[in-house]
Chains A and B, each alone.
Chain A
Amino acid sequence: MPETHPTTTALAWRRFTSNLPAVVGAAFMVLIALVLLAGPSLLSANPNAHSDAVFEPPSARHPFGTDIHGRDLLARCLVGARVSLMAGLVGAAISVVVGTAYGMAAAYGGGRIDAVMMRAVDLLYALPNVIFVMLVLGTAESAITSLLRPAFPSIADAARMLLLFACLGAISWLNMARIVRGQVLSLRSRPFILASRQFGASPAFILRRHLLPNVLGVVMAYATLTVPAVILYESFLSFLGMGIRPPDASLGTLIEDGARQLNPIQVRWWLIAFPGGFLGLTLLALQSLGDGLRDALDPEAHP
């Protein structure tokens, strides 16, 4: 067999697979993805089916117990997690893409461009986002009910959900933009960037090849903070009547419901422990995965 130099991808793959937490995290995420895709239909319990078994603690029949309507909590956690992960990932993705691009552009552009772009961020940040979300979702809501629903009832729900996710992303990219900008400002004057610029590299090339990899770590770190933030913000929107519509659930609304169990008189622990644990494990896996990916892809990283 001829001696070959491993490619960058292969190197990255090797670095990733030798990182145990990352592999475990990735495996867990794959498992969750599979369960979430297939799980709800595999389960015998319908997440919205009422029964007389109200507030039952976990049992063989209901591994996660039941809620006030006698609904199976396991089934509800699974459908809820699906919604929440979608919301979290879509929201975080929007925040990463928009925030990173915006922050890098502002910092690299510098001067007046930077000033104008960052004042715009300040302006949006200072405006209470509940007003923004309410107006966007409220307007869209009536448009969807009056126009879309009569014609395409099945698309209407999906459209509403997508809009909700987009809104969640739209309010969470601002901090990302600030953080990325700070990083790029510091990187901009590093020797390797300056050298590259002097050798005639285009700004796009510098941004993509030099700056992006170097801000990736912080971006990843902040993205893993954004996912739970978006998931929980969704439950706040539900409280305002703008999130997930009952009887559907999200992890956020399940956890909010469960938080009411934290009282000195009567604790139905399963209502908070399972949705909360589910969220915690998922986020932990996501973080390990993010860390692993970041370490594997970072050209400067060393084992």
Chain B
Amino acid sequence: MQPLPRIPDAPASQAGASRFWASFASLRPLSSVLLLALAALLPSCRPDSRADLILHNGREPETLDPHLLTGQADGRVASALFEGLTRYDPVTGNAIPGLAASWSLSPDGLRYTFQIRTNAAWSDGRPILAEDVVWSFRRAVDPLTGADYASQYFYVENGEAISTGKERDLSKLGVDAVSRSSVVVRLRHPTPFFLELLATRVFAVIPREAVERGGDRWILQPGLPCSGPYTLASWRVNDRIRLRRNPHYWDASNVRAGTIDVLAGDSAHTALNQYLVGDVDFILDKDMFPSELAEALQRRPDFHSYTYLGAYFIRFNTTRKPFDDPRVRKAIAMAIDRTRIVQRITRMGEPPASHLVPQGTGGYQPPMGLGRDPEAARRLLAEAGYPGGNGLRTFEYSYNAESRLHEHIAVEIQSALHDVLGLRMELRPLEWKTYLNNMSRLDYDLMRSSWIGDYNDPNTFLDLFLADGGNNRTGWRDPSYDALIHEANATLDRARRFQLLAQAEAHLLRDAAPIVPLYSYVGFYALDTQRLAGVHPNLLDEHPFWAIHRTRRP
């Protein structure tokens, strides 16, 4: 048996202040240990000097290897570090000469000859040579590199054969150094947008020696030679990347900011607050603007929006009943009210679009798809055997759950389909990887989708739905569509080519409708022109860091 706790016989009067404090003595070791531990850890909170320019880049980049990266956040930083033969014009977003000073194209449109600048140099001062370009291109297309974007090399002779493993010899790639400073690129067929492609990251020139020496961590090597306007000074994951001007960059005199901090963060509200108090000069990522603040932001003088190369659309799983019937797909397409969605939900001035390719892409005029027509929609649904929606099973609309925007749009579509067609659609929010996995396995009925153009040409959207395209993901295949696209891309005459592409797009949207486009994206940014210069709206939403600079001291 345990004894009762001992109770001291202390008279009440003696229990004074001294005892009160003495009783805390037993707690003291604990708190002093805690304090010591904290003092040891506080250095992790270290102050930095302010960079000349602070940019908010949205999510933390996964990689800065220009050949491997897939995310926009990654690409923006990688472009500052590594350049290709062409680069983006900060004003128009079009391709302008980069490492190549000039080029010529053979009359059949198949052979480009690029002259590399005589002053093109790595950040360690060594010259950038034709063989660097050739090595970089071969590395990108080598399947062992694992570059998702290697498909951009399919326009180059043997690019596809190498990437798919049919051709093992990398030197068969249609890229050759014909002299110290000139590179010849042979194309599979005329490719009107090839110079635009060259400005994309997967064509960037990277330092062979460092890559071969460094393995997966090559980008983190101190003193890494860079071909672009900046070098990597430091990288703290999920915090900031510091860039420092590359003194040997061929155009160094036009590189405005000496140091740039590129911040990473997931919270749009935080990014906006940082911009408002001046801790951030410019927000690069449009996901970092809270969509619920759309109208309020648009009323601000520093807020600008512009057309942007992106499309929001719905995919149908055409391998599943009843969506194998084009009448059902078209009925759904005609029941949706796009205007309501852009005016009430997205509210950034997005143009409602029944067409997939955004208006103005490379000078192309997209055809109209299926507009809203409730009467015709009901008629089509009845023709398909589901009058008033009777007999059509409850189906699911899948979307990725992290964004409230997708949910709001889903809820609008759900309500429209119920009101117009009497359909019962359940919403299926999915976590990101499950969403992607279900999409590629064709495990869905309807699915929210979007696509950002890689280059300023309608082909970047229209080749998605080729029968064997890895990004088709609808189960829809149509030889006549493929034939039109291939014919168009082999056509040198621009007007004729666009005509064929428009014919293909019209067939895709009006006859087959494996997808329903909802709206084209807009780009937007907050730019206080009193504070910052060098940012210009453009279709590709490309804002090269070298042109951006502060006009006022903070």
Contacts and interface: CB of A to CB of B under 8 A. Distances in A.
A touches B (Cβ under 8 A)? yes
Interface of A: 48, 50, 54, 68-70, 134, 138, 145, 149, 153, 189, 191, 194, 238-242, 245-247, 257, 260-266
A67 to B, nearest CB: 9
Given A68-B292, A246-B429, A260-B290, 4 more contacts: A69-B344, A191-B1, A245-B428, A265-B300
Contact of B2 (A50, A189, A265): A189
B303 to A, nearest CB: 10
Contacts of B407: 246
B344 A134 contact: no
A245 B344 contact: no
Nearest to B415: A50
Contact of A68 (B4, B273, B408): B408
A240 B435 CA distance: 11
21 contacts: A54-B344, A69-B415, A194-B1, A238-B401, A239-B401, A239-B402, A241-B401, A241-B429, A241-B430, A241-B435, A242-B429, A246-B407, A246-B429, A257-B404, A260-B269, A260-B404, A261-B292, A263-B269, A263-B272, A263-B290, A264-B273
Of A70, A134, A263, most buried by chain B (CB within 10 Å of CB) is A263
B296 A266 contact: yes
B429 A245 contact: yes
Nearest to A198: B1
B429 A238 contact: yes
Nearest to B3: A191
> SS class of chain A's interface: helix, strand, loop or mixed?
loop
Given A68-B345, A191-B1, A245 B426 contact: yes
B2 A191 contact: yes
B411 interface: yes
Contacts, number: 77
B292 A194 contact: no
B293 interface: yes
Q: Which one of A70, A247, A265 has the greatest number of beta carbons of chain B within 10 Å? A: A265
B427 A194 contact: no
Majority secondary structure, B binding face: helix
- Which bracket fits the contact residues of B? 35 or more
B290 A247 contact: no
A138 B411 contact: no
Q: Which of B4, B345, B411, B435 has the most CB of A within 10 A?
A: B411
Contacts of B101: none
Contact of A246 (B276, B290, B297, B427): B427
A68 B1 contact: no
Given A189-B2, A263-B269, A241 B293 contact: no
Nearest to B347: A68
Given A138-B434, A241-B400, A263-B269, A69 B408 contact: yes
Given A191-B1, A260-B290, A247 B414 contact: yes
Closest 7 CB pairs of A and B: A241-B401, A241-B429, A266-B296, A265-B296, A189-B2, A241-B430, A240-B431
Contacts of B196: none
B430 A260 contact: no
A153 to B, nearest CB: 7
B4 A191 contact: yes
Nearest to A190: B2
B412 A69 contact: yes
